[in-house]
Amino acid sequence: MRADPDGGAGGAASKKADVGRISISGVGKVFNAGGENEVVALDGVSLEVSPGEMVSLVGPSGCGKSTLLRLVAGLETPSSGGLALDGQPIEGPHHERGLVFQEHSLFPWLNVRGNIASGLKARKVYDRENNDVDEYIRLVGLEGFEKSYPHQLSGGMAQRASLARSFINHPKVLLLDEPFGALDAFTRMQMQDELLRIWEERSTTMLLVTHDVDEAIFLSDRVVIMTPRPGRIGNIIEIRLPRPRLRNNEEILRLRGRLLEILNFAKRPDELSYYL
């Protein structure tokens, strides 16, 4: 693994509160271990994500990005190594680690308000914290849609509700697995801006899986590039660009070329669209 500092002025991580530190130490993950169809998904992955930092994971399909995210979420257990949040071992799911998927995964029988409040009710704190629901509806710009059901929402609005449902639990870490992958290009850019706005306001550590190199550069303090299976960390690019960032900034375009070069797709245009 090699850290490759790039860009200009420093990132945002230094401004954030000292909670939400992710420690990944020598993690390996083997599916069907010892069986005929054994798959080594991850091998010796070590990574520290600082409190309040936004880090993106990119790499070829099947390199273990989503598996690593599920390990941090506590939905999978490592075959070797360990993971911790603020020094405490990760041994299962917890509301301190929110998870947002590519599909919004809202409950179809609940309206926007009900979906956002569902986590509070599951934790049996709704009576004490129900006033937060209005705050988070406002935070994601869904005022006026409180009584709307998921089938009545656009894709972007549904993802806003998913973000609110995760943020209302005050997670130390938000884990995002291709959260905007199903959206059209214009809505995707809007949601990227929205995520950055909430990130700046809430100081939440974020770990993002994406195939979109432009998205990774636009959003992140660091981009972690993983190798083909078995997934390892091949390179880390620091994005030292001030915010707000302009999408057509020359430095962003240069970084885009650098990432694609590392991903070794510069001479394979038929596969480039997967990362753009």
CATH number for the domain that contains residue 244: 3.40.50.300
If we measure between CA atoms, which residue out of 184, 166, 183 comes closest to residue 175? 166
β-bridge mates for residue 11, sequence order: none
Beta-carbon count within 10 A of 162 CB: 24
For residue 117, being part of any structural domain is answered with no
Beta-carbon count within 10 A of 121 CB: 12
Beta-carbon count within 10 A of 46 CB: 13
Beta-carbon count within 10 A of 60 CB: 20
- The pLDDT assigned to 196 comes to 92
Spatial contact of 139 and 167, defined as CB atoms under 8 Å apart: yes
Using DSSP, state whether 67 is helix, strand or coil: helix
For residue 241, being part of any structural domain is answered with yes
pLDDT in tens, the chain (276 residues): 545 656 544 444 344 557 899 999 999 999 987 777 899 999 999 999 999 999 999 998 889 999 999 999 999 999 999 999 999 999 999 999 999 987 778 999 999 999 999 988 988 898 888 888 998 899 888 999 999 999 999 989 998 899 999 888 889 999 999 988 888 889 889 889 989 988 988 889 999 999 999 999 999 999 999 999 899 999 999 999 998 899 888 999 999 999 998 887 544 444 545 555
State which residues form the domain around 220: 6-96+171-267
pTM: 0.86
- The pLDDT assigned to 128 comes to 86
Type of residue at 162:
S
- The pLDDT assigned to 266 comes to 40
Spatial contact of 95 and 169, defined as CB atoms under 8 Å apart: yes
For residue 36, being part of any structural domain is answered with yes
For residue 22, being part of any structural domain is answered with yes
Using DSSP, state whether 174 is helix, strand or coil: strand
The C-alpha atoms of residue 236 and residue 15 are separated, in whole angstroms, by 21
For residue 151, being part of any structural domain is answered with no
For residue 131, being part of any structural domain is answered with no
Total number of domains in the chain? 1
- The pLDDT assigned to 123 comes to 87
For residue 166, being part of any structural domain is answered with no
- The pLDDT assigned to 126 comes to 86
For residue 52, being part of any structural domain is answered with yes
β-bridge mates for residue 147, sequence order: none
For Cα atoms 54, 58, 62, give the angle at the middle one, nearest 5 degrees. 135
